[in-house]
Amino acid sequence: MNRIAKLLVILNGAMAVWASLVFLVFLRLDLLSWIMLNTCSPTQFVTILALATQRRLIMNAVVPWLLFFGFGGLLLFSWSGYMLVAQVSHLIMTVTAVFILVVAVKEREFRTLATGIAIGVIALVPFRFYQDQFLSAHPELLRLWLGVE
């Protein structure tokens, strides 16, 4: 694993552990509510596993998740108050996705890249449907974390 990958493992790990503590310990959410409300941390944990093991298919499969929740989070959440830490995490997720894409292209692993991204999207779409249904059924979670109705 090169230096950049190691740095991304450390940064993603630090952010994921902190967010997990916030949701599971401070906010006292159950495991499913944590996954539905803070999908970034589980995504980062899978990313850490993929980077640490250098499993290219898994690395590529997390790219849609990193971009949707990481880059998407940059566009959705504010850059003030307690959301500032979340935005740093979203930046790290976005940089990690770009790093994985650059590595795949640099090593000319186009088939693995396409297959991984397809697997990631195929997993992400039904997850997002379930997540929307879950959060619609539990609006108190959105009020708790985001302050929205």
Would you say residue 44 has pLDDT above 60? yes
What gap in Å lies between CA 109 and CA 52, rounded to an integer? 18
Q: Mean pLDDT across the stretch 44-59?
A: 96
Q: Mean pLDDT across the stretch 17-33?
A: 94
CB 60 within 8 A of CB 124: no
Average pLDDT, the chain: 94
Q: From residue 106, how far is each of 27, 99, 103 by CA, in Å? A: 42, 10, 5
Of 94, 92, 86, 93, nearest to 22 by C-alpha is: 86
Q: Mean pLDDT across the stretch 41-68?
A: 97
Would you say residue 25 has pLDDT above 70? yes
Domain ranges of the chain: 3-145
pLDDT classification of 146: cutoffs 50, 70, 90: low
Q: Mean pLDDT across the stretch 40-52?
A: 97
Q: What pLDDT is attached to residue 147?
A: 56
- Helix residue ranges, H only, 54-109: 56-61, 63-65, 72-76, 83-106
Record the pTM.
0.92
Q: What pLDDT is attached to residue 149?
A: 43
Q: What pLDDT is attached to residue 81?
A: 84
| Chain segment 95-134, per-residue pLDDT in tens | 999 999 999 999 999 999 999 999 999 999 999 999 999 9
